[in-house]
Structure 1
């Protein structure tokens, strides 16, 4: 079961597209991929590519997502409300670190 808010579902979409694209590129370069190649090359590279794409998504959402400025009538204080974008209750801005760390750890220890 997927749980997301806003554009958080794009994390799954980008990750799926990166896995598919990396698998296709590996088959074009080296022919049929073995399970060892999938574990040691394809999955880590796909995770790192997805981390880059999700980071770019975060930058776009931070800049262009509908932020509304409100003013508290009693104090005159201004505050900004932004729409939440998350996947599994983790904000989109943290997913590049999670994906990148997973890909880097798999490259080093895989």
Structure 2
């Protein structure tokens, strides 16, 4: 079961879309013989960068608290965008690390 808030589901959608695009480009160029870990590493690295910046932009407003001057009530602005209770932008470095691990594994095997 996948648990997300706001646009946190984009942590799964973005790598999925990038994988389909990269696979289509490689098959149209006739490069099916390369190691399958390299395109996957590329997808993880690029999606990690995209998710980091997108998550930072989306979550920038979610932590702000407005105070009603007349009543003194506090209102929290926006929704935190998260996946499995982890803010969206923290999934970016996870993608980068996975991409670099796949790249190193491809080089040394």
- The TM-score by the shorter chain falls in which range? 0.7 to 0.9
* Gapped regions of structure 2 (runs ≥ 5): none
Partner of 1:91: 87
Partner of 1:57: 54
Report SS of the residue matched to 2:36.
helix
RMSD: 2.6
Q: Normalising to structure 1: TM-score of the pair?
A: 0.76
Higher helix share: 1
Would the alpha carbon gap of residues 104 and 6 (structure 1) be closer, same or farther in structure 2, given more than 3 Å must change? same
Tell me the CA shift for residue 84 of structure 1.
1.5
Matches within 5 A, 1:1-110: 1-29=1-29, 31=30, 33-34=32-33, 37-39=35-37, 41-63=38-60, 65=61, 68-71=64-67, 81-110=77-106
* Gapped regions of structure 1 (runs ≥ 5): none
